[in-house]
């Protein structure tokens, strides 16, 4: 029988390797409600929009906020970051299956661009200092190698911030289209983080990670939630221009008030 690691063990693994994975969060009923909620958004906005543009909708939908504040999410996060935690940002990210017609396969120029995520560090995109960012991937679907599983390089968070360049390859889902060049990385050490729907992985903002295209006939969708300790504070950095208009205090007290508390009044 496999034992679920304690919060202390998860935090120790996280700080040693830069990530934890396979953490159970949602029970079957909770997963069903979340899946139904996301299906409603797909019907309302369309697949092209829901692929990457459902940004910070925890401010709008109660069921989304309930995911971001779920005890099974926040308890490991508090074990990692401490008791006083701010929800910094959230986004649904979906890789939908690409069905290529047979006649398109005969012509290279007509092949669709397959969405992928290049090797990168999350902290590259966040204009703050004074604390770590912990990024949650909460699986809405089963995630495996075939449909574009998250890959991380263990221990890479100990290297500090690495140079990022503009990616020359089409299809990169990162907003700034940046990547870390592979000669700077030991990608042979990369490990996959397969998840069952309702499980989560968590990685540090300095952990190098990526994901390949979805080559399956199944959707690969996850809810990405980013948390920081209240000690973190925004900085003026022309390379990381950010505004923080969706931050919410989700645990403990905020003695610093570096970020606004935008807790919504959801009905």
Cα 227 from Cα 90, distance rounded (Å): 9
End-to-end Cα spacing for the chain? 42
Residue 110 has a pLDDT of: 57
Residues 6+ apart with CB under 8 A from 129: 232, 233, 235
Task: State residue 223 phi and psi, 5-degree precision.
Answer: -105, 115
Using alpha carbons, select from 156, 214, 167 the residue that is nearest to residue 189: 156
Q: What is the pLDDT of residues 221-251, one digit of tens each?
A: 999 999 999 999 998 877 667 788 999 999 9
Residues 6+ apart with CB under 8 A from 122: 133, 135, 203, 205, 207, 226
Cα 137 from Cα 195, distance rounded (Å): 9
CATH code linked to domain 7-237:
2.60.120.620
Q: What is the pLDDT of residues 88-107, one digit of tens each?
A: 999 999 999 876 433 334 44
Residue 3 has a pLDDT of: 65
Residue 111 has a pLDDT of: 64
Residue 220 has a pLDDT of: 94
Residue 166 has a pLDDT of: 83
Q: Kindly list the distances between the CA atom of residue 37 and the CA atoms of 31, 71, 88, 200, in Å, as whole numbers in the listed order.
A: 10, 19, 22, 18
* Weakly modelled stretches of the chain, pLDDT under 70: 1-3, 99-111, 239-240, 267
Residue 103 has a pLDDT of: 36
User: How do the domains of the chain map onto residue ranges?
Assistant: 7-237
Residue 169: count of CB within 10 angstroms of its CB: 10
Q: The whole model's pTM is what?
A: 0.91
């Amino acid at each position: 029988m496999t034992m679920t690691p304690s919060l202390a063990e998860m935090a120790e693994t996280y700080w040693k390797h830069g990530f934890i994975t396979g953490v159970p969060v949602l029970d079957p009923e909770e997963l069903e409600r979340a899946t139904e909620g996301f299906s409603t958004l797909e019907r309302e906005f369309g697949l092209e929009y829901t692929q990457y543009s459902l940004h910070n909708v925890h401010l709008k939908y109660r069921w989304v906020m309930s995911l971001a504040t779920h005890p099974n999410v926040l308890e490991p996060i508090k074990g990692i970051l401490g008791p006083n935690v701010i929800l910094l940002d959230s986004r649904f990210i979906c890789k939908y299956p690409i069905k290529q017609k047979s006649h398109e396969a005969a012509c290279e120029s007509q092949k669709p661009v397959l969405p992928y995520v290049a090797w990168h560090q999350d902290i590259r995109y966040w204009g703050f200092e004074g604390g770590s960012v912990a990024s949650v991937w909460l699986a809405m679907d089963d995630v495996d190698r075939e449909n574009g599983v998250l890959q991380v390089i263990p221990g890479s968070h100990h290297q500090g911030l690495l140079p990022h360049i503009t990616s020359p390859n089409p299809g990169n889902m990162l907003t700034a289209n940046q990547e870390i060049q592979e000669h700077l990385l030991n990608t042979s050490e990369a490990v996959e983080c397969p998840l069952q729907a309702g499980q989560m992985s968590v990685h540090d903002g300095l952990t190098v990670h990526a994901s390949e295209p979805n080559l399956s006939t199944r959707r690969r969708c996850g809810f990405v939630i980013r948390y920081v300790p209240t000690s973190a504070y925004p900085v003026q950095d022309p390379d990381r221009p950010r505004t923080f208009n969706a931050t919410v205090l989700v645990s403990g007290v905020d003695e610093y008030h570096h970020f606004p508390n935008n807790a919504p009044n959801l009905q």
